[in-house]
Amino acid sequence: MKRRLIIGISGASGAIYGIRALEALKDNPDVETHLVMSPSAGRTIAEETDWSVKDVKALATQVYNYADIGDTIASGSFKTAGMLVAPCSIKSLSSIANCFGDNLLTRAADVCLKERRRLVLMVRETPFHAGHIDIMSRATNSGAIIMPPVPAFYSRPASIDEMVNHTVGRALDLFDIDTGLVKRWMGESKSA
């Protein structure tokens, strides 16, 4: 059976992270992607990328209506490998941390937590104030992994695209899915 991974795209800046995750998994024969996007995600996609919402949806195996909190991914009986929210807005983070599942994105995230499935939140905000840090702590205490999309420079990225690829690859690593996007650190032994 294919592994099912829910991809949530909220309205925060950084829609390319969710899009790139879908692209990386599109032709993976072992993974199904289940996409849910907030209404604000459509605006962010239009403003930040050359993608249309229709083309983003076409990357997913299954697409869900954000307002339909009764769809399959809202139930723990629908088995998944977990959920990646990329990007995760502070609004979505707050809803998840406070168990406020009033839409399918936050309800699916809450289901992942209650079923002890992996939930990775690519929180896209900076700088953080104490309230942000508090809700990140609450989400972490419930089992979520907070992974702000902070670029790594040890791979010496030559473009924004390479930074996005590396970050998305590292997020998918958390689900034990290797997409080949990550330039792995090999280290160098330094003689004393």
Query: Within a domain: residue 183?
Result: no
Q: Is the pLDDT of residue 189 over 70?
A: no
Decide if 172 contacts 24 (C-beta within 8 A): yes
Query: Within a domain: residue 191?
Result: no
Residues 110-161 pLDDT 10s: 999 999 999 999 999 999 999 999 999 999 999 999 999 999 998 899 999 9
Query: Within a domain: residue 186?
Result: no
Average pLDDT over residues 41-65: 98
Query: Within a domain: residue 136?
Result: yes
Residues 86-96 pLDDT 10s: 999 999 999 99
Which positions ≥6 away from 104 have C-beta within 8 Å? 36, 64, 65, 66, 67, 68, 69, 71, 73, 74
Decide if 92 contacts 105 (C-beta within 8 A): yes
Total domains, the chain: 1
- For the entire predicted model, the pTM comes to 0.95
- Supply the range of the domain harboring residue 145: 3-173
Read off the CATH number of the domain in which 144 is found: 3.40.50.1950
Query: Within a domain: residue 187?
Result: no
Instruction: Read off the pLDDT band of 33 (50, 70, 90).
Output: very high
Query: Within a domain: residue 121?
Result: yes
Q: Tell me which residue has tokens 């998944």.
A: 80
Query: Within a domain: residue 71?
Result: yes
